[in-house]
Amino acid sequence: MIDSEKGEACFLLPGSESQTPHVAFPTATDGVYSLELVTDPRLGLGVAYINQFRALSFRFYDIRNTSLSLFADEPPVAVDGTAYVR
């Protein structure tokens, strides 16, 4: 989750919200944020880079049976880019 008002990002894990990692980043005055997602399914690793400033890394065991998704609470949101899979 990217909270642009707070300048904070975290992963949403149902049932363990208090244990999810959070990172802070500078808020963008124009409301535009860059998110780069890199995954390696063979190793079960991934990294989400936010504005080339902060990174959230994650580990998924048996990632072949898992889906990653992005969603937005408030429109308008435009997504443009590439997700890299090694």
DSSP tag of 27: P
Return the minimum-mean-pLDDT range out of 5-19, 33-47, 51-65, 70-84: 70-84
pLDDT at 86 over 60: no
Confidence at residue 7, expressed as pLDDT on a 0 to 100 scale: 84
pTM of the entire structure? 0.68
Query: What's 24's DSSP letter?
Result: E
pLDDT at 17: 62
**Mean pLDDT of the 33-55 span:** 83
Q: Is the pLDDT of residue 11 over 60?
A: yes
